[in-house]
Structure 1
Amino acid sequence: MMEKMNQDGALETEKSLKRNNVVRERRISGAVAPGAGAVFRSVHAMQSTLALGSSFESDHIWKLGCLDGSSPDTGKGKSQFKSSSITNKVCHGFHLVEGQSGHDMEDYHVAEYRKTKAHVLGLFAIFDGHLGDRVPTYLKDNLFNNILEEPSFWEDPKTAIKNAYRSTDKLILEKSMQLGPGGSTAVTAIVIDGKDLWVANVGDSRAVICRGGVADQLTVDHEPHSERRRIEKQGGFVTTLPGDVPRVNGQLAVARAFGDENLKAHLSSEPDVRQIRIDSSTQFVILASDGLWKVMNNQEAVDMVKHIKDPQAAAKRLTTEALARKSKDDISCIVIRFG
């Protein structure tokens, strides 16, 4: 989400790449073997460049310890735990593309599996930053830990998620000297034992589920015009200028976000949280930043990939189509398949 020019970010090694007709991709790969007890984190594992208008692709792979025979250059991860508590196989794939909005990549993601308290957790998230990448980086490193450390997580996941979003935002604001004035949207998905899915979000990063070929949006797009009353009650205002989207105080195009110290009095970090029971009709879930959703609707996205069994190929298909539809923003996509 490009709302303002960002400050110097952390991607110093990429700044020498020419911006003319170049899209930078970040793809990550990994897998967890059956019964693996260690945490596997699939973050920042691969970087590549793709020249527009050609099929040339140059990959620079950072090798990871991949288990279960999965290749580190596949751009996908799989979880196939052989446990009596697991009823559905869970596999995922992801694809991230830096946009052409004149700023460094501000999208970050998490795709990992953890085994804890005799449960297997799939943790997936997309963080779409603005005014720099420090806040989404902080979220990538801390939000899931904060959720899982909530005392009520196993008894009341909804309350735990809400509490962790709130406390994480408070910590970000307390660290504003280090993290800067920027912020980030978030969409998080927690798969518990392949049976239950907990989805939460702030901002306009979205989760869409496919059941029987039909798309259902699991998240709420927190747009300024839909929360105008709350924003004005808190002393802010919403601008709607010709040719532009509604913005909080003429600046931010979402009504809820992490960070954004200068706008925090008028923003919320309260997530919408939803639980979904995974059953035989549940095919897959798409998590994506607004770089995708600006150029296609939910059913279009589902129809485009519902017959693609490889989740990484599905994620890449969606990001490639978003580019073809002239999306200029950073585009991040995770596809989680069930069954």
Structure 2
Amino acid sequence: MANQASDCSRRLLLSCCIICGGSLYVANVGDSRAVLGRLVKATGDVLAVQLSMEHNAAIESVRQELRSLHPDDSQIVVLKHNVWRVKGLIQVSRSIGDVYLKKPEYNREPLYSKFRLREPFKKPILSSEPSISVQQLQPEDQFVIFASDGLWEHLSNQEAVDIVQNHPRSGSARRLIKAALQEAARKREMRYSDLKKIDRGVRRHFHDDITVIVLFLDSNFAVHASSNKDFSLSLRGGGATVPPNSLALCAIPTELSNS
């Protein structure tokens, strides 16, 4: 019965992409984020370009969306312990999972009482519909960082891009996670080595879970992708060769790591 309860409250926050015809399509659910590193030829700098929109109640536009979808519910978003939460329970407004906030028949035992809503509801509170953005790839586009909110709580978009750009490609995802954990330790006025010694179950109180994928793009990809000639797409580390007019899934990561 306990397994059933945990399944009802299980959550997946996801960013994914498809490359097709020289365009990068990014779909996002929850508060994970996709950030592009783009080279500025005039200066040699690589600038961060955020590709995805997050669904977190901390964002005013998300709270407005929730209120417009639930005009009769004055408690659809609640400021609890100085954090905006949907129904006082959860920060994200969209996710894969959290079925107890989508289907009322799951808002009951054996789901743990701390997750359950006290009042019944007739329409889904959360959505599973992703936000989708389209970015035309340019030869200057270097890489894309996909990461859960645990990374972005401690690193800005530009800080993450700088870390990837200024180090060898190998180990990029692990390097980003280490930088985020070092910052989490600094905020707690403790050493990184001491933070790493804390049991994973307890460390959840010090930092959120972190998952990172870094996808490197060939510098000439955009040119080939927009032409009518045969081309191959190289995802370094993935070893993928893609025939013309086909889709290249970003499920083939260059670097994948999680804390």
Q: TM-score, normalised by structure 1?
A: 0.45
For residues 94-105 of structure 1, the aligned pairs below 5 Å read none
Q: 1:203 to 1:324 in 2, by over 3 A?
A: same
Residue in structure 1 matched with residue 174 of structure 2 by the alignment: 316
SS in 2 for 1:321: helix
**Pick aligned residue for 1:219 from 44, 52, 62:** 52
**Pick aligned residue for 1:228 from 63, 68, 71:** 63
Residue in structure 2 matched with residue 203 of structure 1 by the alignment: 30
Q: Can you list the C-alpha shifts for 1:149-203, whole angstroms capped at 9, x where unaligned? A: xxxxxxxxxxxxxxxxxxxxxxxxxxxxxx433222111112347x332111011
Q: 1:226 offset after TM fit, Å?
A: 2.7
Provide the aligned length of Structure 1 versus Structure 2.
163
SS in 1 for 2:26: strand
Residue in structure 1 matched with residue 148 of structure 2 by the alignment: 289
**Pick aligned residue for 1:186 from 14, 21, 30:** 14
Partner AA of 2:55 in structure 1: H
Output the CA distance in 2 between the equivalents of 1:262 and 1:180: 6
Partner AA of 1:321 in structure 2: A
Q: 1:262 to 1:8 in 2, by over 3 A?
A: closer
Partner AA of 1:258 in structure 2: I
Residue in structure 2 matched with residue 241 of structure 1 by the alignment: 80
Q: Does 1:298 align with 2:157?
A: yes
Residue in structure 2 matched with residue 44 of structure 1 by the alignment: none
Partner AA of 1:261 in structure 2: V
Q: Can you list the C-alpha shifts for 1:84-105, whole angstroms capped at 9, x where unaligned? A: xxxxxxxxxxxxxxxxxxxxxx
Identity across matched positions, percent: 38
Output the CA distance in 2 between the equivalents of 1:246 and 1:215: 27
Output the CA distance in 2 between the equivalents of 1:227 and 1:257: 13
SS in 2 for 1:266: coil
Cα contact 2:94–2:128 (8 A) shared by 1: yes
Q: 1:229 to 1:275 in 2, by over 3 A?
A: closer
Structure 1 residue ranges without an equivalent (≥5): 1-6, 10-130, 133-178
Q: Which of 1 and 2 has greater Rg?
A: 2
Residue in structure 2 matched with residue 279 of structure 1 by the alignment: 138
**Pick aligned residue for 1:258 from 96, 99, 102:** 96
SS in 2 for 1:335: strand
Q: 1:220 offset after TM fit, Å?
A: 0.6
Output the CA distance in 2 between the equivalents of 1:319 and 1:183: 21
Divergent runs of 4+, >6 A = none
Q: Can you list the C-alpha shifts for 1:112-156, whole angstroms capped at 9, x where unaligned? A: xxxxxxxxxxxxxxxxxxx85xxxxxxxxxxxxxxxxxxxxxxxx
TM-align CA RMSD: 2.2
Relative to its length, the structure with more strand (as a share) is 1
**Pick aligned residue for 2:166 from 298, 307, 311:** 307
Cα contact 2:8–2:100 (8 A) shared by 1: no
Residue in structure 1 matched with residue 213 of structure 2 by the alignment: 334
Structure 2 residue ranges without an equivalent (≥5): 40-45, 103-123, 185-205, 219-259
